[in-house]
Amino acid sequence: MTHTPVANSYRIERQLGAAPGLLVALDFDGTLAPIEDDPDAPEITQANRHAVEALADHPDTLVAVVSGRQLADLRPRVAVDGVRYVGNHGLEYTVDGERMVHPEAQARLADIEAVREEIERRLADFDGVEVEDKEVTLTVHYRRATDASAADVTAVVEDAVDPVEGLQAGSGKMIVEVKPTVDWHKGAVVEWLREEVPETWRAVYVGDDTTDEDAFRALDEDDLAVLVGERSTAADYRVSSQAEVSRLLNRLLGVLDGP
């Protein structure tokens, strides 16, 4: 599917029309924050923080940050009141400010811990490869690997995960993830969030990762799916870089407030 640059306010106005309200769901890494070699380094940019605050304060929005990060890691990185936080690709989420865990993920915590120990043992000699324990999932980072390829790391993780019923491995940007085998992903999160807003509201999803494709596919033709960057995608629109995201978010405010 072609994806057209979101070059000006006219394109956004034409796509969203006279929407009485917006569900705005946003990825974190590569969208609200620049990608960094160190997974602990990313911070939301000031421009994006201001835009998210303004959107969250608007009476006709529901704003959600939907990330692969653990909820306990995600919330302080954004730290904007009135935002719905969704971590671990939807396996953790906030409801009335309280943390909730998908029941199937809760049931696999012991398996995740056992697989983490096995993966760490097998990757111990791979310099620059880091296993991040996110409690309900694992993320193996190889962006800084010096002596291992993506194929090497993926093979190790898949070999450790395959014998364990109820867990699966998947890939993202310079990572391999381990998570429960459950039909729950960023697209399911978007559908869940839709139930909390009026049917007449439109939805916007902005993200850069391959895991955001499920969310793009969950949107209707009258919604706005925006890829950050350049690659094959289910999104109809794009911005060329993370630095352009704040301009897009501010234009959404213009749609809500009208001419």
pLDDT at residue 6, rounded to an integer: 63
Structural domains of the chain, ranges and CATH numbers in brackets: 4-102+184-257 (3.40.50.1000), 105-180 (3.30.70.1020)
| Catalytic-role residue among 27, 29, 212, 214 | 27
Residue 111 falls in the annotated catalytic set: no
Q: What's this model's pTM, rounded to 2 decimal places? A: 0.85
pLDDT at residue 39, rounded to an integer: 81
Under 8 Å CB-to-CB from 121, ≥6 apart: which residues? none
| C-alpha closest to that of 228 among 256, 247, 254 | 247
Q: What does the pLDDT profile of the chain (259 residues) look like in tens digits?
A: 345 566 456 778 888 877 999 999 999 999 999 998 888 899 999 999 999 999 999 999 999 999 989 999 999 999 999 999 999 989 999 888 889 999 999 999 999 999 999 999 999 989 999 999 999 999 999 999 988 899 999 999 999 999 999 999 988 878 999 999 988 899 999 999 999 999 999 999 999 998 899 999 999 999 999 999 989 999 989 999 999 999 999 999 988 887 6
pLDDT at residue 13, rounded to an integer: 84
pLDDT at residue 1, rounded to an integer: 39
The alpha-helical segments, DSSP class H, found in the chain are 9-16, 46-57, 71-78, 103-106, 109-122, 150-161, 186-194, 213-218, 245-257
How far apart (Å, rounded) are the C-alpha atoms in residues 88 and 92? 6
Q: Give CA separation, 228 vs 109, 212, 248, in Å.
A: 33, 10, 11
